[in-house]
């Protein structure tokens, strides 16, 4: 049970020590201060404004000139023109924002002691004993308890998905000892804060996406009064605070909807709200069990459980996808907009969704793609004169597809969307759901269609088609200046490795999807032709996978992005058994990057863990997992980029599973799918005993895996979908099984 608890003996001093609760739509960071509690609040659709068509029409005319300049080696001139003609108008997308704060003051006269006796820095107030601050991961319940002058004070908080509210339950061991004052605030960014009746206060914001945050209180015993924007409780035995927030993104009359929901939940007993919340949450959390029966590894279990908790709490059907910070953001203008960065970060948020048996959490990502579709068609047409669906390296809640910012190493990259729509195919691989592919096929199809029009022949070898202009995400290379031997850092290029790797995967799976749902037309024929002209990974003179289309000296040999290794992971076209020579090159590339200081951010460390797991190197995977724990994990277990980014949490969660089991979906000549399963492929020496039960595998399978003394002790497979062949591999052994629908198979 201890690995399903996060506990502290002191309150949070800063936001990075507070603990999160969330129901996908609503979130709160709870500080746990005894006498001046604070809940920093979020609602997933509180962003800085509405949709804007920022597509730059100058791009279409400038595109051939940019391409020509790159081919001539005039990279700086091409980049200057790109900034002028391709940058969005205006450059900025919308950003995710905090809803504000709920402050609960227990420190004024008649409450705890006398005026001015309270604390403001997160330390314990004088006279407080037996303090505990706990996040119960098994129940998604935050608990603060302590004793003061013989009275035990307890505060329980959770974010209920069924009720659509955050609930704070306050009790005291001695009747009449509960008194506090509540206030909602958002600094200068709130239109008004006011009271409604004698039990409700609300905060309204009317600019951008308008919203209402409201809190309603029920008490047993004592007196309640409201004055202005403050609500005061004196001498109560118990209190329940209900908090909701609604926005104009989802509801026209957002204030009425917010208040109506509070009134509806106000009639539900506290115990019932808690019971329904726990039942709903455990439907997700209890699907999977992980244990390491190894001394000193309890932190690993706790961290893994915390990451699953975060995904369940940040992304639910009907909500927005998890952004750079999940849903927990304290800023009005957060780092990188706390947006959807689709050159890896948004994708990484969902790397473990299927393996951890949380497929539903990815549904908001598919909703975002659908919302972005019409915008992306306009971007393709207006900026590039192409058919299909296009986006750049960032999106906001509206699915804005125009370039964000004017940052050459990132803003103008066009492969983020191609990467993102591959999550649709991943859903099929895990579920074998043809109806799903039929529903979303247009997104795969139109992403391919854009590149049919956009790709151009490679100048040195016109049998190949390449992306021009291209960028290897956030990286730069040294390029000779026009008239000197000096070199300058450049980013624009033609056909970087990641572009080719993603495009090969995109066209391959789209063609396969068309076959599955019996679609054949001239576009599918064009896709087959394109696929035959996309380059395989190339090697540099040192035997490493080339990141760019030709050899360049790197500006940062230890760069945080590992884009040229995309085909190893999250792609699966570089594998130990199918492409041994490329696997050697990939391993060498990874070691070279790390030897020069790579893996410097939390999410980069998480990617490194996944890559070593794919290489079946458990010791190195564990080494970088421990490094992530030691250098990139905040006191509250959030990942730090720096600053806080949640993708490292989710990437590490995925990597940990990959160390224990991996699966690949392949197709036989007759088109029937089969799955290759590797059991304990990267088990570290120190993880001698443990189990992983309920893990999902491709082919609509799940597995229970138990190992003892570093040897597989038990393996049970369950088929939750259509009949399928499974090739199960462990060490140097392989067995083939045919699993019918709904069958259990005890392999060992």
Say which CATH number the domain at 20 has.
2.70.98.50
* Residue 371 within a domain: yes
Largest CA-CA distance found in the chain, in angstroms, rounded = 84
SS3 230: strand
d(CA 650, CA 364): 16
35-56 pLDDT, tens digit per residue, is 999 999 999 999 999 999 999 9
pLDDT-based confidence at 408, cuts 50/70/90? very high
Q: What was the pLDDT predicted at 219? A: 96
Note whether 199 and 108 are same-domain residues. Answer: yes
Note whether 78 and 143 are same-domain residues. Answer: no
CATH of the domain at 349: 1.50.10.10
pTM comes to 0.97
Q: What was the pLDDT predicted at 118? A: 45
Q: What was the pLDDT predicted at 486? A: 78
d(CA 454, CA 440): 22
* Residue 614 within a domain: no
269-319 pLDDT, tens digit per residue, is 999 999 999 999 999 999 999 999 887 789 999 999 999 999 999 999 999
Note whether 240 and 346 are same-domain residues. Answer: no
Q: What was the pLDDT predicted at 117? A: 42
Note whether 594 and 684 are same-domain residues. Answer: no
72-116 pLDDT, tens digit per residue, is 999 999 999 999 999 999 999 999 999 999 999 997 554 554 444
d(CA 605, CA 608): 5
Note whether 39 and 64 are same-domain residues. Answer: no
Note whether 348 and 236 are same-domain residues. Answer: no
Residue at a domain's end among 534, 565, 598: 598
Q: What was the pLDDT predicted at 487? A: 86
Average of per-residue pLDDT values in the chain? 95
Note whether 512 and 431 are same-domain residues. Answer: yes
Handedness of CA 304, 307, 312, 315 (dihedral sign): negative
Task: Please report how the helices 602-614 and 618-631 are oriented relative to each other, as an axis angle in degrees rounded to 10.
Answer: 170
Note whether 268 and 361 are same-domain residues. Answer: no
Q: What was the pLDDT predicted at 113? A: 45
* Residue 620 within a domain: no
* Residue 631 within a domain: no
542-587 pLDDT, tens digit per residue, is 999 999 988 899 999 999 999 999 999 999 999 999 999 999 999 9
Q: How far is CA 144 from CA 152, 172, 352, in A?
A: 10, 12, 31
CATH of the domain at 721: 2.60.40.1180
661-687 pLDDT, tens digit per residue, is 999 999 999 999 999 999 999 999 999
Note whether 270 and 418 are same-domain residues. Answer: no
Residue 550: partners with Cβ closer than 8 Å, 6 or more residues away:
none
* Residue 653 within a domain: no
Minimal CA–CA distance to 224: which of 199, 193, 195, 259?
199
For residues 461 and 221, the model is more confident at: 221
Q: Which of 122-136, 240-254, 632-646 has the lowest mean pLDDT?
A: 122-136
222-266 pLDDT, tens digit per residue, is 999 999 899 999 999 999 999 999 999 999 999 999 999 999 999
Minimal CA–CA distance to 394: which of 158, 95, 657, 56?
95
Q: What was the pLDDT predicted at 190? A: 80
Domain range for 723? 673-746
Note whether 237 and 379 are same-domain residues. Answer: no
* Residue 485 within a domain: yes
The pLDDT > 90 percentage for the chain reads 90
Note whether 360 and 500 are same-domain residues. Answer: yes
Residue at a domain's end among 550, 582, 598: 598
Q: For residue 282, what are its two tokens?
A: 């455990």
Note whether 491 and 431 are same-domain residues. Answer: yes
* Residue 604 within a domain: no
* Residue 740 within a domain: yes
pLDDT-based confidence at 155, cuts 50/70/90? very high
Quick one: the chain helix, strand, coil %, rounded to 5? Answer: 30, 25, 40
* Helix or strand (DSSP H, E) at 613: helix 602-614
SS3 89: coil
d(CA 35, CA 170): 13
Whether the CB-CB separation of 156 and 143 falls below 8 Å is answered with yes
Residue at a domain's end among 598, 631, 646: 598
Q: How far is CA 424 from CA 111, 412, 431, 499, 506, in A?
A: 55, 24, 11, 18, 11
d(CA 164, CA 146): 29
Q: Count structural domains, the chain.
A: 3
* Helix or strand (DSSP H, E) at 720: none
């Amino acid at each position: 049970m201890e690995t399903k608890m996060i506990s502290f003996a002191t309150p949070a001093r800063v936001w990075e020590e507070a603990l999160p609760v969330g129901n996908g739509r609503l979130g709160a960071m709870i500080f746990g201060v005894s006498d001046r509690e604070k809940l920093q609040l979020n609602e997933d659709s509180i962003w800085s404004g509405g949709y804007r068509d920022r597509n730059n029409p100058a791009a279409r005319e400038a595109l051939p000139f940019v391409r020509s300049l790159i081919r001539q080696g005039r990279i700086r001139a091409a980049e200057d023109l790109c900034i002028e003609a391709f940058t969005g108008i205006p450059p900025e997308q919308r950003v995710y924002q905090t809803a504000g704060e709920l402050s609960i003051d227990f420190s004024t006269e008649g409450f705890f002691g006398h005026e001015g006796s309270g604390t403001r820095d997160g330390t314990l107030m004088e006279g407080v004993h037996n303090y505990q601050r706990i996040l119960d991961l098994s129940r998604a319940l935050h608990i603060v308890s302590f004793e003061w002058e013989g009275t035990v004070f307890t505060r329980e908080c959770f974010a209920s998905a069924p009720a659509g509210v955050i609930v704070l339950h306050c009790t005291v061991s001695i009747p009449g000892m509960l008194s506090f004052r509540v206030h909602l605030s958002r600094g200068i960014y709130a239109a008004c804060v006011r009271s409604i009746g004698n039990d409700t206060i609300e905060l309204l914001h009317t600019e951008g996406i308008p919203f209402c945050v409201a809190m309603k209180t029920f008490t047993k015993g004592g007196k309640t009064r409201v004055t202005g924007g403050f609500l005061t409780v004196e001498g109560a035995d118990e209190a329940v605070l209900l908090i909701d927030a609604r926005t104009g993104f989802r509801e026209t009359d957002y204030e009425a909807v917010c208040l109506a929901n509070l009134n509806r939940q106000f009639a539900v007993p506290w115990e019932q709200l808690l019971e329904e919340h726990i039942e709903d949450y455990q439907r997700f959390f209890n699907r999977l069990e992980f244990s390491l029966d190894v001394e000193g590894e309890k932190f690993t279990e706790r961290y893994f459980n915390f990451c699953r908790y975060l995904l369940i709490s940040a992304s639910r059907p009907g909500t927005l996808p998890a952004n750079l910070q999940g849903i927990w953001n304290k800023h009005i203008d957060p780092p990188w907009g706390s947006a959807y960065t689709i050159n890896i970060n948004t994708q990484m948020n969902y790397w473990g969704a299927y393996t951890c048996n949380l497929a539903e959490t990815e549904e908001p990502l598919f909703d975002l793609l659908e919302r972005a579709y019409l915008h992306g068609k306009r971007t393709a047409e207006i900026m590039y004169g192409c058919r299909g669906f296009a986006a750049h390296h960032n999106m906001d809640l509206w699915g804005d597809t125009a370039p964000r910012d004017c940052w050459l190493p990132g803003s103008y990259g066009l492969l983020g969307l191609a990467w993102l729509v591959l999550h649709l195919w991943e859903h099929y691989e895990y579920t074998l759901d043809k109806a799903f592919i039929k529903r979303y096929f247009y997104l795969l199809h139109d992403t391919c269609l854009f590149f049919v029009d956009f790709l151009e022949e490679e100048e040195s070898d016109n049998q190949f088609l390449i992306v021009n202009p291209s960028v290897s995400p956030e990286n730069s290379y040294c390029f000779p200046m026009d008239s000197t031997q000096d070199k300058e850092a450049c980013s624009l290029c033609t056909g970087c490795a990641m572009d080719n790797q993603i495009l090969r995967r995109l066209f391959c799976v789209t063609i396969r999807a068309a076959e599955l749902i019996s679609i054949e037309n001239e576009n599918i024929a064009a896709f087959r032709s394109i696929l035959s002209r996309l380059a395989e990974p190339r090697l540099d003179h040192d035997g490493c996978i080339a990141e760019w289309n030709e050899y360049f000296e790197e500006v940062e040999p230890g760069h945080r992005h590992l884009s040229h290794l995309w085909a190893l992971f999250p792609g699966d076209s570089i594998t130990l058994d199918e492409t041994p020579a490329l696997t050697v090159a990939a391993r060498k590339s990874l070691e070279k990057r790390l030897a020069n200081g790579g893996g410097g951010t939390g999410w980069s460390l998480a990617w490194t863990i996944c890559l070593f797991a794919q290489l079946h190197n458990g010791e190195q995977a564990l080494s970088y997992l421990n490094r992530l724990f030691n250098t990139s994990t905040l006191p509250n277990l959030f990942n730090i980029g720096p600053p806080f980014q949640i993708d490292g949490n989710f990437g590490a969660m995925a990597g940990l599973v990959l160390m224990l089991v991996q699966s690949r979906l392949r197709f036989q000549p007759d088109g029937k799918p089969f799955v290759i399963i590797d059991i304990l492929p990267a088990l570290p020496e120190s993880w001698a005993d443990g189990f992983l039960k309920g893990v999902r595998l491709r082919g609509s399978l799940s597995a229970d895996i138990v190992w003892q003394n570093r040897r597989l002790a038990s393996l049970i497979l369950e088929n939750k979908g259509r009949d399928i062949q499974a090739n199960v591999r462990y060490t140097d052994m392989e067995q083939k099984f045919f699993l019918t629908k709904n069958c259990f198979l005890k392999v060992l």
